[in-house]
Structure 1
Amino acid sequence: MPSGSDGWTEEARLLAGDRLRRTRVQQRLSIRQIAELSKISKTSVLQVESGRSSRRSTYLKVAEAMGLHLDRLVQPGSAEEVPYAIHRAEDDTWFDLADFGEGPLPQSAQSDPQAREKLARDSGVSPLNILGSRLERGRIKPTLLELYGPSAVRSHAGEEHVFVLAGQATVSVGGSELFLEAGESITFWSSEPHFYAPQEGSPLPVRLLSVRVDS
């Protein structure tokens, strides 16, 4: 695979970036906090986590900020890598869909659905649980969404599959509004502007399982 000026391959960058992102989420650190600890920009942190940064020194700064050894992160056959990933109930960590880079929601909203509902109604957040059942080098990114109102409009690379777990949802993709009941699902190119919302009269929260595959 192509390598940068410091000899790092694309595979090494992607592997290190994914493991750094997973560790940041597990440590409940925001993009902003890592940027401050690493003394780099938030954009640089995002580039590291996606494997787009070509400078090994930048990965090293992010790793050191979380107390990690960079060389161990880029060993595909390391003992820490297992062929599966599990998310347990105690692993739940809720963020705001529109601003998850700023870190988790307040502690009161982590275990109390009523606190999340109040926060959603008062501040317009869309609670997002980034599930830990992601393979070390996998491309599938599952999340759980709770909707109390319309989410922010988003677009990003890749494909997205959304399954309605509870309630009735409206999923808008590229200007088309699709209406889904519990047990129904939709797959779309996530580069199209899209958002989610409860249908009028639906019990709240509407719960969605979103599975994203980056291109």
Structure 2
Amino acid sequence: MAIRLKILRKKLGVTLEVLAERSGLTKSYLSKIERGLNTPSISTALKLAKALNLKVEELFSEESSSVDSYSLVRANDRQSLAAGNEEPSYAVLAHQISSRSLLPFIIYPPTEFTDKSFKEHLGEEFLFVHEGQVEVDFMNEKLLLDRGDALHFNSQKPHRLRSVGDVQAQLLVVIHSAE
């Protein structure tokens, strides 16, 4: 995403300062994303796409699409996103096809809430626990989800996730946003 963000930003004639202002993120943080030093969360990617007036998939895919196309991402070809030597925190499961409003990812949540802030964004979110256990913190309520559990909620509800137990949690996350 780092190189793609920089290319799209420059193609649209948007400076880092303007993107920072539009997205509500700092210029320093955006610069680190573009240099591959930081990996944005999904909610940050949504903010960047909205600030650039793009579909979020355009930040991850260079391919143009047609109405009749489909997206196939083989397990070995997944684009895993992480900063530096960190383990991947999420992987993109689909490339842009036509005008899609579903964003599927595999997420590997951290074992601790390293970021004190809660994520919130437009749309809906669906989580399916593929492996391990995950704690979903909604500020005033915490849910423990086991392998095979599913959760669907309004993404504007502040939330954060963490892996609990001995096995690294793997979640299928599908975000729907009409924006």
TM-score tier after normalising by the smaller chain length? 0.5 to 0.7
Tell me the TM-score normalized by structure 1: 0.54
Q: Secondary structure at the match of 2:9?
A: helix
Aligned ranges 1:88-167 → 2 under 5 Å: 88-96=74-82, 105-106=83-84, 119=86, 127-132=89-94, 135-149=97-111, 150=113, 152=115, 153-167=118-132
Q: Take 1:204 and 1:136, find their aligned partners in 2: how far apart are those partners?
A: 37
Structure 1 runs not aligned, ≥5 long? 1-24, 52-65, 97-104, 107-114, 121-125
Counterparts in 2 of 1:134 and 1:203: CA distance versus 1, 3 Å? farther
The structure with more radius of gyration: 1
**Equivalence for 2:68:** 82
Question: Mapping of 1:190-209 within 5 angstroms?
Answer: 190-199=155-164, 202-209=165-172
Higher relative contact order (CA 8 A, sep 6+): 2
Cα distance change on mapping 1:158 and 1:32 into 2, 3 Å: same
How far apart, in 2, do the equivalents of 1:142 and 1:181 lie?
20
Q: Does 1:186 align with 2:151?
A: yes
Whether 1:40 aligns to 2:14 is yes
2:9–2:52 Cα contact (<8 Å) kept:
no
Is contact 1:151–1:195 with CA below 8 Å preserved after alignment?
A: no
- Deviant stretches of 4+, over 6 Å: none
Residue 136 to residue 173, structure 1, CA distance change in 2 (3 Å): farther
Aligned AA for 1:208? L
Q: Residues 145, 137 of structure 1: CA spacing in aligned structure 2 closer, same or farther, 3 A cutoff?
A: same
Q: Partners in 1 of 2:143 and 2:71 — Cα distance? A: 32
Contact 1:128 1:146 in 2 (8 A): yes
Quote the Cα distance in structure 1 between the aligned partners of 2:114 and 2:70: 31
Alignment check: 8 A CA contact 1:83 1:135 kept = yes
Query: Hey, which of these two has a bigger chunk of helix by percent?
Result: 1
Give aligned pairs, total. Answer: 139
Give ranges in structure 2 of 5+ residues lacking alignment.
23-47, 57-61
Identity of aligned residues (%): 19
Work out whether residues 159 and 187 of structure 1, in 8 Å CA contact, stay in contact via their aligned partners in 2: yes
Post-superposition Cα deviations, 1:82-128, rounded to whole Å, max 9, x if no partner, equal 253222124311224xxxxxxxx45xxxxxxxx5xxx25xxxxx711
8 Å Cα contact 1:151/1:197 also seen in 2? no
Seen in structure 2, the aligned counterparts of structure 1 residues 93 and 206 have a Cα distance that, compared at 3 Å, is same
CA distance, structure 2, for counterparts of residue 32 and residue 133 of structure 1? 18
Match of 2:175 in 1: 212
